[in-house]
Amino acid sequence: MITVLSGGIGAARFLQGLVQVVPQKEVTIVSNTADDLEMFGLHVSPDIDIVIYHLAGEFSPDRPVNGAASMPPPSGGGGEPFLQQPLVNPETGWGIAGDTFHTLDALARFGHQTWFSLGDRDLATHIHRTHLLRQGRTLSQATAEIARAFGLEVTILPMSDQPVRTRVETPDGLLDFQEYMVKRSARDAFHGLKLAGIEDAKPAPGVIEAITAAEGVILAPSNPIVSIGPILALPGVRQALRQTKARVVAVSPIVGGAVIKGPAAKMMKGLRMEVSAWQIGWLYQDFLDCLVIDNADAADRARIEALGLDVVVTDTIMKGMEEKAALARRVLEAIRGSRT
């Protein structure tokens, strides 16, 4: 079994590669839920949905999209179908491809806020999730039902069934994460964050077991501060990562000393951190076995090794399905120790 600690888009793209090389049934995803929000009384879990929409879609038994003829068959799966047309909107990386926004437009008439773009089909997910929660299901149970309805065989665990919410410290005071990120386009200076509710939150059922019983644990190339950070802040998670017999491998979200997309660089600088692959290794050094870094960061190798970590240098930019699968294979090799 492979367990992946996951944020949103970067993690979802990595997972598209992983499910090409590991059967879905052998993959457990622990998703950040500190970005969750309530809109129009509906519970929205952006990171969970981003992962579901990236992994759901049209499958075919043929080669992957962009796949070269020389591509070896997926290991272990023996005929796992390839995802040809993901459900996710390819332009944004969130929401559903081809979705419409009639409901949001109609809500604007009543004075509702529309800065968070919830498409009509996407809204069905949030309506259903909220319905399940009001019937008394936990977020874990609701997430499992939704993932199954989208035809997924991976296990998706929210990091916690209790609400944990990221609040960003800015010169204008504390802002809800999505207000900071989306409504105000991450323009405010980032002075730090608070995880509201973390004191009362426990890891969701199965999270600690997924870490301790896995063959390998992967930290996806996600924002270390607001995506992976909240998962690590839950009681017992860091300890489980330190104690597990599994190899723990992180994929650096840094490429050439920068972040491809999103506010991670701004947040790291705001916390007086270096924006570098080394800094990622430093943040995870107490439990990490191996850091996978991009070729563009190869100069950091010795500094990261000095932290006591193995380092794999490879191409981490995931342009097409083929590159995603190649990166996943490289990470699996790091777990199984065949090449570092």
Q: How far is the CB of 306 from ligand FO1 (least distance, A)?
A: 31
**What is d(CA 177, CA 225) in angstroms, rounded to the nearest whole number?**
12
Least distance from C-beta 178 to ligand FO1, angstroms?
5
Stretch that binds ligand FO1, among 130-138, 178-186, 278-286, 288-296 (CB under 6 A): 178-186
Judged by CB under 6 A, which of 2, 4, 7, 293 binds ligand FO1? 7
* Residue 161 CB burial class (10 angstroms; 0-12, 13-18, ≥19): buried
**Residue 311: beta bridge partners?**
291
Of the residues 18, 80, 82, 94, which one makes contact with ligand FO1 according to CB under 6 A: 94
Residue with tokens 């998962």, as numbered in its chain: 231
Long-range CB contacts (within 8 A, 24+) of 117-124: 118/39, 118/44, 119/95, 121/96, 122/49, 122/95, 122/96, 123/42
Of 39-47, 162-170, 196-204, 265-273, the window that binds ligand FO1 (rule: CB under 6 A) is 39-47
Task: Kindly write down the DSSP assignment for every residue of 158-227, as one continuous string.
Answer: ES-SS--EEEEEETTEEEEHHIIIIITTT-S---EEEEETGGG--PPTTHHHHHHS-SEEEE-S--TTTT
Smallest separation (angstroms) from ligand FO1 to the CB of 320: 21
Contact assessment for residue 21 and residue 76, using Cβ atoms and an 8 Å cutoff: yes
Q: Of 54, 47, 46, 35, whose CA–CA distance to 5 is shortest?
A: 47
Q: Among 193, 189, 247, which Cα is nearest to 216's?
A: 247
With CB under 6 A as the contact rule, the residue among 2, 3, 4, 8 that binds ligand FO1 is 8
Touching ligand FO1, residues 44-83 (CB under 6 A)? 44, 46-47, 49-50
224 binds ligand FO1 (CB under 6 A): no
Identified binder of ligand FO1 from the candidate list 40, 101, 116, 150, rule CB under 6 A: 116
Closer by beta carbon to ligand FO1, 182 or else 275 = 182
> How near is the Cβ of 136 to ligand FO1 at its closest, in Å?
24
Beta carbon nearer to ligand FO1, 50 or 142: 50
Asked if 182 interacts with ligand FO1 (CB under 6 A), we say yes
Given candidates 35, 161, 289, 294, which one binds ligand FO1 under the rule CB under 6 A?
35
Which residue, 195 or 335, is less far from ligand FO1 as judged by CB? 195
Which of the residues 262 through 301 are near ligand FO1 (CB under 6 A)? none
Size of interface with ligand FO1, in residues (CB under 6 A): 17
The nearest distance, CB 156 to ligand FO1, in angstroms, is: 14
Among the listed residues 6, 28, 31, 178, the single contact to ligand FO1 using CB under 6 A:
178
Q: Is 218 left (phi over 0), alpha (psi -120 to 50) or beta?
A: beta
Q: Where are the alpha helices (DSSP H) in 88-164?
A: 102-108, 120-134, 139-149
Specify whether the CB–CB gap between 140 and 205 falls below 8 A. Answer: yes
Residues near ligand FO1, by CB under 6 A = 7-8, 35, 44, 46-47, 49-50, 94-95, 116-118, 122, 178, 181-182
